[in-house]
Amino acid sequence: MSNLYDSAYDLEKAIRESNEYKELKSLFDQVNSDPSAKGMFENFRNLQMNLQQKQMTGQEITPEEVEQAQKTVALVQQHSTISKLMEAEQRMSMAIADLNKIIMKPLEDLYGSPQQ
């Protein structure tokens, strides 16, 4: 068990030291230290979360909301630091997905393929 935790802490450290994380953190800090960029990004995040929640709970999304979302996306994409941050987030989340696939392999070996 202790080896399990040791290995997890090693991976945590490797994530912190990875280029993906360093870039993400640097861009995140840049955006958050600029009040106008921060506000724009938070606005975008809230809108996104709001729409996702509606989608998951089967609530209707109005044409006005779609339009507002498109406008907000277009706006944040024009902001170069925010758009770099969003790309860094995507790279980080792809790396995390890769890591999860590796780590979950032992359980997938048991439960994954029904024909086993």
Cα separation, 76 vs 49, whole angstroms: 15
Least Cβ distance, residue 87 to its own copies (angstroms): 15
Q: Is residue 87 at the binding interface for its own copies, with CB under 8 A as the rule?
A: no
Instruction: Annotate each residue in 4-23 with x if it binds its own copies (CB under 8 A) or - if it does not, as one string.
Output: xxxxxxxxxxxxxxxxxx--
Rounded to 5°, the CA angle 33-15-83 comes to 40
Among 33, 36, 40, 58, interactor with its own copies by CB under 8 A: 58
Q: Is residue 47 at the binding interface for its own copies, with CB under 8 A as the rule?
A: no
Q: Is residue 103 at the binding interface for its own copies, with CB under 8 A as the rule?
A: yes
Q: Rounded to the nearest 5°, which phi and psi values hold at 2?
A: -65, -35
Tokens of 62: 């109005």
* Nearest of 100, 83, 90, 93 to residue 30 by alpha carbon: 83
- Name the residues that contact its own copies, by CB under 8 A: 1, 3-21, 24-25, 28, 58, 92, 95-96, 98-99, 102-103, 105-107, 110
